[in-house]
Amino acid sequence: MLDARCPGKMASGEQCSAPPRWQSISLTHVEYPTGDLTGQILAYSSLLPMAILVGFVTLIVFKRELHTISFFGGLVINEGLNWVLKHIVQEPRPCGGEHSAVTTEYGMPSSHSQFIWFFVVYFLLFLYLRMHQTNNARCVELLWRHVLSVILLGVALSVSYSRVYLLYHTWRQVVYGGVAGMVVGVVWFFITQEVLTPIFPKIAAWPISEFFLIRDTSLIPNILWFEYTVTRSEAR
């Protein structure tokens, strides 16, 4: 049974006691129990996918880099797949749809979980397989990728747990969403690397790409170092 004081403690995804009064974060309609600080923090945590989408749009507008566009395209495909799976399985959300504002009545698989695990798995593969380091790189220069990996995994776990704690999904729905996101992330990463990346130079040379200043940086081993040195040189 669900403890009204601790909405995250759920013995069964289909059973719940009298719920507390829910309060919505303005503009986003993510609800959390009134007076529950943990629930409020997790509610903001569940908004991270929205922040990621805003970040992608910003990067695409200002960087116009083909790999970033491909990454974003994978996220869109992942969301489309989640919508299809939800309407095939048609498994309801826990507690009979307690929340007043949800995009769909179905909860299997969790779209937040599928989104965040796609993003994290793809980013980790990009971090360790795409961003090459020079042989003479210092340990401090290599440490940041491991620290970032731990942070990303913590973010994914936080978002996933928030969906259960706030009664938007059951653990089963969150786990299946996470697995689906990881699988799609791995598949899309290798499609991008093996199929799309070889043709990026041709796409970047198209007249329409040149008109919109779309570029390809796939042949640059360390894009962060390249952009840093070019920017510093240009500023001088």
Could you state, in chain order, the average pLDDT of each consecutive group of 10 residues for the chain (236 residues)? 48 53 58 76 83 86 86 91 87 68 72 91 86 58 81 90 84 90 93 88 87 82 74 81
pLDDT at 120: 93
For residue 224, give the amino acid letter.
L
CA distances, 93 to each of 43, 79, 83, 185 (Å): 17, 18, 14, 25
pLDDT at 132: 59
Q: Which helix (H) or strand (E) holds 102?
A: none
pLDDT at 187: 94
C-beta of residue 46 within 8 angstroms of C-beta of residue 163: yes
Max Cα–Cα distance, the chain, nearest Å: 66
Cα dihedral sign for 173, 174, 179, 180?
A: positive
Closest CA to 123 of 148, 96, 143: 148
Hey, is 33 helix, strand or coil? Answer: strand
Distance CA 160, CA 197 (A): 31
Q: Whole-prediction pTM value?
A: 0.76
CB within 8 Å of 213: residues ≥ 6 apart: 64
pLDDT at 12: 45
- Tokens 């922040």 — which residue? 51
Q: Please state the φ and ψ torsions of residue 22, each to the nearest 5 degrees.
A: -95, 145
C-beta of residue 178 within 8 angstroms of C-beta of residue 117: yes
Write down the domain spans for the chain: 35-235
Q: Would you tell me the crossing angle of helices 66-89 and 111-125 to the nearest 10 degrees?
A: 150
pLDDT at 15: 53
pLDDT at 24: 54
